[in-house]
Amino acid sequence: MKITGIRFERVFAKWAFEGPLAEDRLLRPVDIYEDFRAEGPYFPVRTAGQKPPYEVQSIFMWVDTDEGLSGLFGAISEEEARIIAGQLAPAILGENPHAVERIWDRMYRLAIHGRKGQTMQAISKVDLALWDLKGKALGVPVYVLLGGPTREKNRAYASMLGFSAEPARAAERAAEVVAQGFTATKWFVRYGPADGEAGARKNLDLIRAVREAVGPDVEIMFDAWSSWSVPYTLRMAELAAPYRPWWFEEPVLADRIGEYALLRRSVRGVAIAGGEHEYTRWGIKQLLEAGAVDILQADPTWAGGLTEMKKICALASAYGVPVIPHHGSFASAHLIASEDITTCPIQEWLLQAGWRENVFLKHKLLPEGGYIVPPNRPGLGIELDEAVITRREALALS
């Protein structure tokens, strides 16, 4: 079997969704500047005056072979598609699609100036399509090829990006997800050092409200998205201690590994999580060697695909650091199902993004009772639902 082509389509559908979208946004590193700090929440299907059903669109990629089988992955960005078609294709076309290690290495060496960021994210998407193809060719789910199953279902946590951080509204939403069966929930803070002590108190109000809403047995986590500082994180850990958060996520800028390590040594009672913005086994190895994180959050759709994530999980297990992948949806479901429960204990589920990405799919990947059942179909289990797709367009990359 040989790879004969790579193609991309922009797929459109109508989304008859009535629930909350973009009630709030997360704190961002760039919010130290007033013009950025003034920006409001954003969601890709909601514009001023628009009502459901929303028109939504995503780009999907097929890796085709001379035997008629194709690997599928999506959604991907237009920039990633351009990188794949314009830079990576010579490392892919004509290759045996089963040889995922060889193709990964060819892509990595060809794109040596793209070891991180969008180029590595593009490499990740190709790798995931190849695993989908491999699973289809062999007639088994990807988690079987990766070494699983290690469990029947993955425990999931409700990740509340886009939901209001106003304490009363957050408490209401937190109680709702617990009623749905989730045993852990993560919230995104809105205030950082530039907002002073008043902002810290507002963050604490959110933490307190979520804890009081979910009770003592549900785990709560808070994401600062690289926007706090070391002193600010230490202050928030002190204030939040009575409410027992499981972790603070990305408290400082991703490249400040020494600051992560300092926080990990200094903070008591709250784990330090990070790694979502790190790439490949080499980047992750720096975090582990520095003792920078209690919880590693590499993303299988960014950090190098499943081929690389298996290496990352092996590294992390040697250091005794659990891997809780950043989102990853289908890819994370298969990865987690292939790893032991101490290495990958739980799966993130971004509710608003997850609702949207399932619009296009025949077989939905959605939590039930706080758990995600990995797809039991050959490959990744991604299949477009022609019944809901309103139109498809070949992606013009010229």
Q: Where are the domains of the chain?
A: 3-12+56-139, 144-372
Mean pLDDT for 331-359 is 97
Q: Which CATH superfamily is domain 144-372 in?
A: Enolase-like C-terminal domain (3.20.20.120)
Q: Which of 98, 113, 277, 326 is catalytic?
A: 326
Tell me the average pLDDT of the chain: 96
390 burial level (CB within 10 Å; 0-12, 13-18, 19+): exposed
Per-residue pLDDT tens over the stretch 293-306: 999 999 999 999 99
| Contact criterion met (CB below 8 Å) for 2 and 96 | yes
Q: HSE, CB side, 13 Å, CA atoms: give it for residue 45.
A: 25
pLDDT band at 45 (very low <50, low <70, confident <90, very high): low
Dist CA 34 CA 68 (whole Å): 54
| Contact criterion met (CB below 8 Å) for 156 and 339 | no
Residue 22 pLDDT more than 80?
yes
Q: What is the pLDDT of residue 303?
A: 98
326 is catalytic: yes
Is the bond into 75 cis (omega within 30 degrees of 0)?
yes
pLDDT band at 398 (very low <50, low <70, confident <90, very high): low
Q: What is the pLDDT of residue 50?
A: 73
Per-residue pLDDT tens over the stretch 72-116: 999 999 999 999 999 999 999 999 999 999 999 999 999 999 999
Query: Which one has a higher pLDDT value, 20 or 80?
Result: 80
Residue 261 pLDDT more than 70?
yes
Architecture of the CATH domain 3-12+56-139: 2-Layer Sandwich (3.30)
Residue 150 pLDDT more than 60?
yes
pLDDT band at 52 (very low <50, low <70, confident <90, very high): confident
Of the candidates 163, 186, 167, the residue with the CA atom closest to the CA atom of residue 297 = 186
Is the bond into 374 cis (omega within 30 degrees of 0)?
no
From the CB of residue 289, how many other CB atoms can be counted at a distance below 10 Å?
12
Q: What is the pLDDT of residue 46?
A: 56
* % of residues, the chain, pLDDT over 90: 95
pLDDT band at 19 (very low <50, low <70, confident <90, very high): confident
Dist CA 36 CA 99 (whole Å): 45
pLDDT band at 43 (very low <50, low <70, confident <90, very high): confident
Dist CA 280 CA 171 (whole Å): 37
Dist CA 294 CA 309 (whole Å): 18
Residue 48 pLDDT more than 90?
no
Per-residue pLDDT tens over the stretch 303-328: 999 999 999 999 999 999 999 999 99
| Contact criterion met (CB below 8 Å) for 19 and 77 | no
Per-residue pLDDT tens over the stretch 156-209: 999 999 999 999 999 999 999 999 999 999 999 999 999 999 999 999 999 999
Handedness of CA 262, 267, 272, 277 (dihedral sign): negative
Mean pLDDT for 272-289 is 98
